[in-house]
Every structure is written in structure tokens, then in C-alpha cells.
Structure 1
Amino acid sequence: MKITYLSFIVGALLLQGCEQPNSNSNASTKVETKPVTTTAEQPKKETTVKYAQNVYFGDTHLHTNNSFDAGAFGNTLSPDDAYKYARGEKITASMGLETQLIKPLDFLVVSDHSDNMGMIPDLYAGKKELIANPLGKELYEGLMAGRNHEVALKLIKGFSQGTLPDVLNYDPESIGYKDAWNAIIDSAEKYNEPGKFTAFIGYEWTSMIKGANMHRVLIYRDGEEKGRQMVPYTTTPPYGSQNPRDLWKWMQTYEDKTQGNILAIAHNGNLSNGIMFPLDEQYDGTKLDKEYVESRARWEPLYEITQMKGDGETHPVLSPNDEFADFEQWDVGNLDLSELKTNEMLPGEYGREALKRGLAIEKKLGINPYKFGLIGSTDSHTSLATTEADNFFGKMSTSEPGKARMTDALVSGLGKTIHYRKTINSGLAAVWATENTRQGLFDAMKRKETYATTGQRIQVRFFAGWNFNEGDLNSKDFVQLGYEKGVPMGADLPSKAGEAPQFMVVAMKDPDAANLDRLQVVKGWLDSEGNTHERIFDVACSDNRKIVARRCDKVVGNTVDVKTATYTNDIGADSLKALWIDPEFDSSQNAFYYVRVLAIPTPRWTTYDAVRYNIAIPDDIPTSIQDRAYTAPIWYNH
């Protein structure tokens, strides 16, 4: 099924509940120059409607040359460059290729690492205090010789294991650190244009427990006046801590001192080796208590479910009945491969299992610490927020387009290797908000009216209520009715004894990308014995397929031509919708529901590379993938 311009516009109006589709409905990255359509060129619509009418696509997790690992890998691009690129300007990447987004992002968070912020530029400059240290001198000489990958891994492994000398762990109260932080704020203020493009102040808290990734991205609702009052919270004593409990205390201090607002997004958990989502006790043996669950629920409203270091929805070991669970996993070990992965670690790493664990913890402690919305982001360390498979610019500057990135190793340890080819072009954060401002987007993130995509700009709406009908689903006022008669993604559905809720979902393809395969509702629940369960229901299928035993009766097919790295939209649908009632609903069981939207298969970025450089595709990676979107859940509590 091929999309028409008219059908796209009609579908966009339905999803957004307003007369005009979002100006930045799609973006991709191109090496060559392309015309750029910016938000500023679109007419503004006056409205008094208070519900979220527009979806805004952005990246909440991007690193520049101020991050010690990104800079060591060869990233020469500044926060200014990152914002210019996100807004649609042409940029020359660190390795010399020109690149430009066809359409800009709506928002960006430059989230450089809290620890050692600004150290690498000083190392490149040969700062005498750094090169007076033997390791500092070795690293400096390596950078001067162009051995970026070697230097970066030495720094990452030293930081992961806590063995870096004090001189290479920058004091956050030092002039160099404060200068770097103030420069990041300067860039955000310079490129923030309320209503057109939002540049958030933010950073990534870099907790690393012996290589197990516990990072969080922090986002400020505020501007420079409040943002400058406190430097970021680091992880190295005596100035910081690895423990998220201490981070949450710092966040409380920030809000008390500045009267501002801040939130944290837990990093994709599949490099945490099981410690991102504890069930009974933290990594240090401390039992979960009411303080922990209250703090986590308050400060961490979102989870980064997909990004370049793998997809974090679920795993085949955790979801053996989910035929789409085996999608772009990083399940070899922790970040520096100092500890290999075991199946016992997996439940503490993936988003769906965390949502289930949250139900169990709530029954025990009274609060669900994992009642989070979902977003995707890139975690790109190149300053380039790129997500399109046909123009993927890699995760590190050493993996920008070129022949070698198909076979080069990213990290090795304990007899295992993760190659650059395992990185994925994911992902994007999608936010349904009333306006494209720091305040509008931040408030939408707090209320969890968000979803994640693995790179394509799929649009999706999801509502739950007790009185929906087919007329509501097909109404031109679909969105308004969704809010008036129910609740949107990210919300709690008030209980109503004896009745099963109705769910309305409408999704549209990215107009410049693949058609849609199907819509699925993923349900998790807690039974009377305290055990958690999950089940997947296909609720809409393209190409007139039927739903039999909770699944589309046929696979959608695959039009990918591996020899040419092309596909066609002769299969699938440009939009799908459904009104669904849970046939297994039990009003006595707490549950969550979220939507997974699957696109038809398209070439993986490595397939494009294979054609572009006339090289073979290794056997350990697929030739095609099915991009997807994950909505924030809706929770039912009896």
C-alpha cells in the first residue's frame, strides 16, 4: 500500500486533533546537501485547547567533545555544532564528511558526561598538570599520534573500574570544569527558540559500578539563571557518589535552592548487568525501602528503552512467546566487558520486565518505582543526532561512515568482542505536548505523555477509557474524545468494578519511510499470588490479514533487496487503528498496557554500507530490521 500526500495529511490531523500537522513530521540524515524545511517556516495556529495537540521529535541523549569518551574517540564538534546540526544546518563531521538533516529535530539535550567534563580538550592542549602524570602523558601522546580508539578504551576502562589517577578525575568545583559547564549552558541559551526549537540544559550522571552502567540523563526545565547555580553531580568521591539515592538527594537540593525543576531518565539498562531495575535490593546489598521507591518514582518519570547500544524493551529469554523480542540486543556483558552476561542478570535490565517488577514492588511497599514513560534517544558520541539507517553516522567518531566500521572492534574483554556493526541507528524521543518550549516539553515528560521510536518518525496515539466506541475511534474529534472520555499514554486509568476498559490506538507511518505491519498491545499484570505475567495482543494488521489466536494470521512479508539495499512499500499500511477491549481483563488485578507499533522490514544500516562500499555482510547481523515505536504504558489499579 503506497501512501498518498492526502492520506498523510488526513491521518496527521486525526492524530494531532488540530487543523495543521506538526511541522517536523520526519527527519533523516544525508551526506549530501538537501533542502531544509524548518519549524520557523510553518504558520502558527492559534488555539485555546489545553490538551497536547502536537508531537515533537528530539534527542535527549547526545555527547559532544566535552565528554571524555567522545573527545578521546576523536569528536571535535562542540555543543554549538550539535545544536546547529539538530536545527538543520550542514556540518562537517569530525572525520571530514559533510552531513545535514533533511528536516531538523524539534528539541535536543546535549548531555555530556558529568565526570571529567572538559578534561579531553585540556588533554589535547597538553595542559601541564595532566601530562605531568604518567598516564596523562601516555594518553596525550596517544592522541597526538592518532590512536584515538586505544586512548578512549583506556580511559573508559580506567573510569569504569575506578582506577584513574586523581588528576584525570576533574574536580567539579575547578575552574576548568565550571568553564565547560558554563559553555554548555551558553550553547543551550544561544540556540533555544521557544516555539521553534528547544535546547534543554542537561547532562549525564555517569555512575559506573565496576563496568555496570547506571547512567542517568538529567534535564532542566529551567534556563541559565538557575542552571548555573550548581554544577552537575558527579560520581567520584568526595564530590559525588555512584549511588542513585545520592543523585536524587542532589536533585532535591537543586530544586530547593533554585526553585527550579529537574528530572532524570534512566539509561538503557542492557549494559547494567542486572542492576538497573532491582527487585529486592540494590547493587550494594541495601534493601529497597519506601524512601527508594518514593524517590525513584518522583525523580525518574521516563526510561530510555532504545538507543545506539541496543534495544531495551525485552529479550527472548524473558519473553519466549514474543516472536519480535529478538531485536538488536546487546547481551554480551557490561560496558567494558570486565564481566560477562548471564541469563540471571536479564530481568534487571529490560523495560518490560521492569514494568512487571514495579507491580510486584508496589504490592510490597505501596509505591511503584518503575511507573515510567518510554522514550528513545541516540546516545551518539559524535555530536550528530542521526537515526536514519541509510545515512547512519555511527556512535563514535571512529565509526563514522567507512569500510572499516563493519569489521572494527568497539570493545573486547574476557574472550568476547563487540564490534561497531552491533550499534544500531536508534532512537528518537517523541513527546505529545501543548507547545515546543522547555516548559511545555518538560511538563509532558513529567506526565509521561511520551513514546520511543527506533529511528523512524512513526506517529501514535493511545487512550484508555470506559465509554469509548467505534464512533469515537473514527471521529474527526478522536483526540478530543480520547482526553474527555479517557486518559492518554502515561496516565493511570481510574478503576471501575466489573467492566473491561476500552483502548483506542491510532498510528501513522513516517511519511518518508516504511509502511506499518501491525499494532500490538503489550499487557503485564500481577496475579493474586503476587506473580507477574505478560501477554501480547495484535489489535490491527495491515493488508487485510485477520487476527487469529491474538496474532495476525500471516507475516507481513519482506520486500528488502539485499543486493541493492532497497525496499518497497508495496506491503503494509500507511496507517492503522483499533478499538480494543481486553478479553482477559480481571478487575482485581493491577496491570499495565502499552502499544508496540511495527513497521515492515527495511534494510539495516550495515546492508546500506555493504552496498555502498562493496563489502560482505557478516553473518552475525541481520540484513533487514523492523523499526518500531513503543508508547508509554497506561496503568490500571484496582
Structure 2
Amino acid sequence: MQVRIMLAASVCALMTANPSAEAQDSVTTDGGTINASAVERFFNQPGYSPYAGRNYPQRPLWGEIHLHTSWSADAIAAGTRVGPDEALQYAKGREITSSTGQKVRLSRPYDFMMVADHSDSLGVMSNVLAGDPNLLADPTLKKWSNGMNAGGAAATTVVMEMITMQGEGTLPEAVTDNDVQFDMWRKMTEIVEGHNDPGSFTALIGYEWTSNYGGGNNLHRNVVYRDGKDKADMVRPMTTYDSDIPNKFWDWMETYEEKTGGRVLAVPHNGNLSNGLMFALETPDGKPIDQDWVEARARWEPLVEVTQSKGTSEQHPSLAPSDEFANFEIWDKGNLNVVPKQPGMIEFEYAREALKRGLKLEDEFGTNPFKFGMLGSTDDHTGISSAEENNFFGKFPASEPGPERSTGNAFDFEGRTVKDWKLGASGLTAVWAPENTRASIWDAMKRKEVYGTTGSRMFVRFFGGWEFTPEDALGRNPGSVGYGKGVPMGGDLPPAPDGATIPTFLVAALKDPLSGNLDRIQIIKGWVDGEGAMHEKIHDVAWAGDREPGDDGKVPLIGSTVDLENATWTNTIGAPELITVWSDPDFDPALRAFYYARVIEIPTPRWSAYDAAYFADSDFPEDATMTVTERAYTSPIWYSPGG
């Protein structure tokens, strides 16, 4: 028996409604006669195309939300001449000229970009550079103008003085004028609006609130708007001249939403340079955190920037001595002014520690203030987002490609230095958004369905649930089964269904075609026991090759194919993709926990190795890092007793 159907999309609907359809050998549609059992076996929705009607993200969107241009005071003082318009052109794949006169282009365009220039003195220092007589009447600004125009070490001195005075609240009044800043903000949003092309390229509106509380203690936040220029222009961006306390910053965010009907979120960065303040249990001015503080931070800060050029803040090796991958691009000498750390500071600076501490705070307050997802961005101050090892253009113009950056200083405060070679070519943000639009990308960030990488564009899926089976790792579409049976990264495990006792996780990674093969996938678990003690454990769950875990449960390192002399490597080790289903062998349903995936690539040449091979007169010290194991950090999935 054959049934004539006018629309092919009705085939599966008919098979559901008509019990006799199960016995049919074929079904005739406008597209011809097809095998009914094939429809039933291969497609879970009406129609031939398995992509039509799909309502979940197909691929990650790549970009960053933390790039500075010549409109940032410290950037222009250091010699940056690339403005926001050129920076956005570059992000879209165009070739531009750097501040040192070098041609530069991305290997592949981004899907989105947010220029995050400092709101403090936004755009004003360009007038100081140009010699505005009204501004140069101030002796400090006259000295700065001379230093900026001289360049080199004189310009670096200006940057260091500016950062110190901004942190101390002693900047000249001439550069803290709110009216001038608001006028420059409206010009900025006009430039950004001109680059926004929904469906093709998203130009997000945003800025950086740059609290250097107490002189160099990094409490910076990037503000990401869901909105366009019409709403963003209604409220002046907050500066540290208004306040440098995060509580007051959250008040500004609430005021913005109430006045405009718009939406904003904030992303803290560089906890590693906060000297113990970023995830502390008291406010910077010494007040204990309370219920209002906990709820405000949880509401306004759903994400943390875990990797960027000034170091990676996932975990410190001293806090996790058994984690052989924790010692990665670590900056731990001091704060932004390189003021040395005191004992006890580091444990309040790193994301994994904060994630664990958040579980304890949830027991106390009923809300977890550190329930954040993780992403990466560059924080480059060149107008050039450069997270590629073989295409790294540094943090400031002085660290753009050249033999001198092998021995130069990235930071120098009264002889307290951090070398240029310590800068990392990191990082990028991957967003699982169904559409390339401001609203869709922002919504994915808000629900934490994002992950950060150190520059590689590997695809990573991570789902948690109660009913994943090993067979779920055999298919070619982990997204379909992941969304169907669980929650994605950034989510909360639902209550266990009847008969389920242990959570299961589906994790998959696909290599970046321009980067190294994959070494392994790890799932990192953190929990708090019944006595309130914090714990963590790292599980190798999938890995390349025929390696076997040792007695300590760890999979041996994969080795290296890097040829340092020529800055090359081969993908003769590692795997192009890894996928598995893992269940927690130590699960205790009475204890709060989180899980996130970390994906590690095989070793490849670091940007310093490319420099050494390219510049014959470069002179890197013996202890300079020359290889890198690129990696991805997913947002966690949380478990709470009772769901």
C-alpha cells in the first residue's frame, strides 16, 4: 500500500499518527518513493534533511571580547596607533598595518569581536599626544606628551606612571572629564555599529572597567552589551573615577538595565595579578562579603577570563602539585605593578580554587557567587588580536615582532620587571550560539555555554546527564545526543531519574586543522566534603595512542615532535579527534560538585621559537619557554544534591 503525501516533511508525522505505517515498505513523496524504515531509522524529525529545524548550535563561533586600541590611554601612550575601526577590519579578515609598520592578517577571520577599550579617559590621550594646549597646561600631561612623542623607553615610563596614578586615584583632572568621555563613547559605539553584520560578523559593544585597587591590584572587568548603540548610549560607562569597588560597579550595571531595558554582563580577568583580591572573601576595602554581595556577583558575572596574554589563571601549580599541566603560562611574581605577593594570596586568584570555594559559599548563603563559565581573550593593546603562535604581535607595540623582544621587558615598575618572552599568545573564546548575532552570542555567554582556548580553534563538546552510554560516543553527531540526553557546558545536572545513581558525561574534541593533534581529554572535578574541606581530582578520560595509565592513574606524557631550530612539528603523534562517555567513579550524591573538561594538544612551537628561528639576532635566555601545549577549558557542569 502506498500513501500519497503532498509535503515530504509530513513523512515522519504520518508514521507517528498511523500505526499501519510501521508495516509499509515505502512511502511516496513529491521527491519520489523512499524506504519508510530508512526514514524511521535515520531521522528523528520530519523531512530528509537532518539539519532542517535543528534548534541547537551547529558549531562554535570564534572571537574575543578583550582587545584594546589607540583609544585606550595606556595603549596610545605606549605607541599604539591602530584604532577601533582598523581593529574590527582585522577581526573580519582584512590585512592592516601595525603600529610598527608591519603588515598583519589573521589566518582565519573571527565570527565576533568586542573592542574593550578602557572607559577611564576613553580617547582623551590622543589629544595629549597631539599637544592640545589646554591639556598640556598640566605639567604631568606635558611630560607625558613629550614621552609619548619620543617613544621607546620614554613612552614605556609614561604607561607605568599612568597605571600607577590611575590605581592611586591621582590622575590629572584634565583627563578625567566625564563629558569628554561620554562624547568619545558615542563615537566608539558608532564605529562598532558600522561593523555589525548579523549572521556574518558580530561586533559587540563593550568596554573595560579598570579597577587597579590599591595600586596595581587587578580587579578589571569587561562589560558586554546585548544591545546596540541606541541603548548603549543612554548611560555613561562607569569609570574608576566614579568608584574602583566592584560592588559599585554592579550597581552601575543594575542602573543601566533599569534605565534602558537592555542587558549587560561582566567578565573579570587576570585574577593572577590581583594579589589575592579577585576571589577573596571580603571586599577590597576590607568588608566581609554578605548576602547582597554574593547574589550580585552571581547575577552580573557569569563568566571569567581564564587565559590571556598576561598569564593563565586556571590553576597554580603550588595549589595542585599533582596536576602536571597546571604550570602553564604562569605569571605569579606580583600584581599589575609587579608588587610581590604575600603568603596566602595565590589561593584567591585562580579559577579552580574559586569554583571550589563557591560550593562552600553556596552552603552558607544559598547562592554560589563563583558559579562561572570560562573563556579566553588576548587583552592585547596593539589593536591586533593575536592568539596564534606563528602570528603573535605582542601586548604593546614594543613587543611587536622583532629581535629586541627576546630580551625586552613587558612590564617595568621601578626595576620590578616581567620579560617580554613571558607574554602568552592567548587566548580565544568559543561560543555555542545558534546564530551569529549579538543577542544569540550574549545569551550563550549568559548561560555559560562557552569555552576558552589558549589560541587553538579546536571544537569541544561537553555534556552531563544520567543516561549517557558508551554507544553515545560512537556516532558522528555528539551534539544531537548531548542535547537530547543531558545539559551542555555551563548547565546544572537535573535530578537523577529513577534507577540512575551516577552522573555520566559525554565529551568530544576535534583538532584545529592548523594546530597540533590532540594528546588527551581530562575531566576535572571539584567538590566539598561533609566537613567543608575542598577537593579536586583530575581524570584522564580519553587519550591518543596505546598509552596505559600508570600506578598513579596518570596517562604518561605523549612526547614531542617539535624541531626548535626550524620552529616546526609533525602530527605523527596524537589524534585528530577524541570522544568518550565517562562516569564519576567517586560520586557521592550528598556532596556538591562541579566538572569541567580540559583538552590538551601535543607540544608545538611557541611564539618565542618562531621568533628565534626568524630573527637571526634574537637572544632568548636559556630559561625562556619554547614549546606550548595548547589547550581548551570548558565551562563547568554543576551538581547539587536534590538537583
Tell me whether the two structures share a fold, i.e. TM-score over 0.5: yes
Cα offset, 1:127, TM superposition: 1.4
Report the equivalent of 1:62: 67
- Give the partner amino acid of 1:156: I
Cα offset, 1:272, TM superposition: 0.4
Instruction: Output one character per residue of 1:325-362: Cα deviation in whole Å (capped at 9) or x when no partner.
Output: 1111110111012x201341111111101101101111
Distance (whole Å) between structure 2 residues aligned to residue 432 and residue 568 of structure 1: 30
Distance (whole Å) between structure 2 residues aligned to residue 275 and residue 255 of structure 1: 27
- 1:96 counterpart = 2:97: no
Find 2:177's aligned residue among 149, 171, 174: 171
Distance (whole Å) between structure 1 residues aligned to residue 51 and residue 593 of structure 2: 39
**Where do 1:394-413 residues align within 5 Å?**
394-413=394-413
Q: Tell me if the contact between 1:539 and 1:547 (Cα under 8 Å) persists in the aligned partners.
A: no
Structure 1: segments with no counterpart, 5+ residues: 1-16, 19-43
Report the equivalent of 1:119: 124
Q: Secondary structure at the match of 2:564?
A: coil
- Give the partner amino acid of 1:623: M
Distance (whole Å) between structure 1 residues aligned to residue 624 and residue 267 of structure 2: 29
Instruction: Output one character per residue of 1:479-525: Cα deviation in whole Å (capped at 9) or x when no partner.
Output: 12211211100000023387111111000110111000000000000
Q: Tell me if the contact between 1:388 and 1:425 (Cα under 8 Å) persists in the aligned partners.
A: yes
- 1:624 counterpart = 2:630: no
Instruction: Output one character per residue of 1:90-147: Cα deviation in whole Å (capped at 9) or x when no partner.
Output: 1000100001112100000000001111121111121122210111111111122223
Number of aligned positions between the proteins = 589
Q: Tell me if the contact between 1:517 and 1:556 (Cα under 8 Å) persists in the aligned partners.
A: yes
Q: Tell me if the contact between 1:340 and 1:414 (Cα under 8 Å) persists in the aligned partners.
A: no
- 1:366 counterpart = 2:366: yes
Instruction: Output one character per residue of 1:64-85: Cα deviation in whole Å (capped at 9) or x when no partner.
Output: 1110001111111111001000
Cα offset, 1:551, TM superposition: 4.2
Quick one: higher RCO (CA 8 Å, sep 6+), 1 or 2? Answer: 1
Distance (whole Å) between structure 2 residues aligned to residue 387 and residue 477 of structure 1: 29
- Give the partner amino acid of 2:195: Y
Q: Tell me if the contact between 1:492 and 1:635 (Cα under 8 Å) persists in the aligned partners.
A: yes
- 1:243 counterpart = 2:245: yes
Distance (whole Å) between structure 2 residues aligned to residue 554 and residue 320 of structure 1: 16
Structure of higher CA gyration radius:
2
Q: Tell me if the contact between 1:451 and 1:631 (Cα under 8 Å) persists in the aligned partners.
A: yes
- 1:633 counterpart = 2:636: yes
Q: Secondary structure at the match of 1:451?
A: strand
Structure 2: segments with no counterpart, 5+ residues: 1-42
Cα offset, 1:550, TM superposition: 6.7
Distance (whole Å) between structure 2 residues aligned to residue 274 and residue 516 of structure 1: 34
**Where do 1:219-298 residues align within 5 Å?**
219-236=224-241, 240-278=242-280, 280-298=281-299
Q: Secondary structure at the match of 1:54?
A: coil
- 1:197 counterpart = 2:198: no
Q: Secondary structure at the match of 2:432?
A: strand
Q: Secondary structure at the match of 2:539?
A: strand
Q: Tell me if the contact between 1:204 and 1:215 (Cα under 8 Å) persists in the aligned partners.
A: yes
Report the equivalent of 2:330: 329
- 1:181 counterpart = 2:175: no
- Give the partner amino acid of 1:364: E
Q: Secondary structure at the match of 2:537?
A: strand
Distance (whole Å) between structure 1 residues aligned to residue 440 and residue 50 of structure 2: 16
Instruction: Output one character per residue of 1:423-472: Cα deviation in whole Å (capped at 9) or x when no partner.
Output: 10000011001100000100000000000000010110001111111222
The share of aligned pairs that are identical, in percent, is 48
- 1:75 to 1:413, Cα distance in 2 relative to 1, 3 A: closer
Report the equivalent of 2:211: 207
**Where do 1:307-456 residues align within 5 Å?**
307-337=308-338, 339-413=339-413, 416-456=416-456
Distance (whole Å) between structure 1 residues aligned to residue 290 and residue 317 of structure 2: 31
TM-score computed with the length of structure 2 as normaliser: 0.89
- 1:578 counterpart = 2:585: no
Instruction: Output one character per residue of 1:361-418: Cα deviation in whole Å (capped at 9) or x when no partner.
Output: 1111110001001000000101111111111000111111011111111223475310
Distance (whole Å) between structure 1 residues aligned to residue 602 and residue 219 of structure 2: 33
Q: Tell me if the contact between 2:119 and 2:181 (Cα under 8 Å) persists in the aligned partners.
A: no
Report the equivalent of 1:3: none
Distance (whole Å) between structure 2 residues aligned to residue 87 and residue 50 of structure 1: 26
TM-score computed with the length of structure 1 as normaliser: 0.90
Distance (whole Å) between structure 1 residues aligned to residue 551 and residue 444 of structure 2: 36
Report the equivalent of 2:86: 81
- 1:223 to 1:557, Cα distance in 2 relative to 1, 3 A: same
Report the equivalent of 1:561: 563
Report the equivalent of 1:12: none
- Give the partner amino acid of 1:167: A
Distance (whole Å) between structure 2 residues aligned to residue 556 and residue 331 of structure 1: 27
Q: Which runs of 4+ in 1 moved over 3 A?
A: 44-47, 413-416, 547-553
Q: Secondary structure at the match of 1:360?
A: helix
- 1:45 to 1:207, Cα distance in 2 relative to 1, 3 A: farther
| Coordinate RMSD, CA, aligned | 1.7
Distance (whole Å) between structure 1 residues aligned to residue 408 and residue 82 of structure 2: 23
Find 2:507's aligned residue among 505, 510, 514: 505
Q: Tell me if the contact between 2:407 and 2:421 (Cα under 8 Å) persists in the aligned partners.
A: yes
Deviates more, 1:410-419 or 1:95-104: 410-419
Cα offset, 1:477, TM superposition: 4.3
Q: Tell me if the contact between 1:607 and 1:617 (Cα under 8 Å) persists in the aligned partners.
A: no
Report the equivalent of 2:38: none
Q: Secondary structure at the match of 2:60?
A: strand
Q: Secondary structure at the match of 1:334?
A: coil
Q: Secondary structure at the match of 1:182?
A: helix
Distance (whole Å) between structure 2 residues aligned to residue 441 and residue 569 of structure 1: 33
Report the equivalent of 2:603: 601
Q: Tell me if the contact between 2:550 and 2:556 (Cα under 8 Å) persists in the aligned partners.
A: no
**Where do 1:512-523 residues align within 5 Å?**
512-523=514-525
**Where do 1:470-481 residues align within 5 Å?**
470-481=470-481
Q: Tell me if the contact between 2:234 and 2:260 (Cα under 8 Å) persists in the aligned partners.
A: yes
Q: Tell me if the contact between 1:538 and 1:550 (Cα under 8 Å) persists in the aligned partners.
A: no
Instruction: Output one character per residue of 1:544-601: Cα deviation in whole Å (capped at 9) or x when no partner.
Output: 2223457454220011111111111111000011110111111111000000000000
- 1:157 counterpart = 2:164: yes
- Give the partner amino acid of 1:373: G
Report the equivalent of 1:31: none
Q: Secondary structure at the match of 2:273?
A: coil
- Give the partner amino acid of 2:270: N
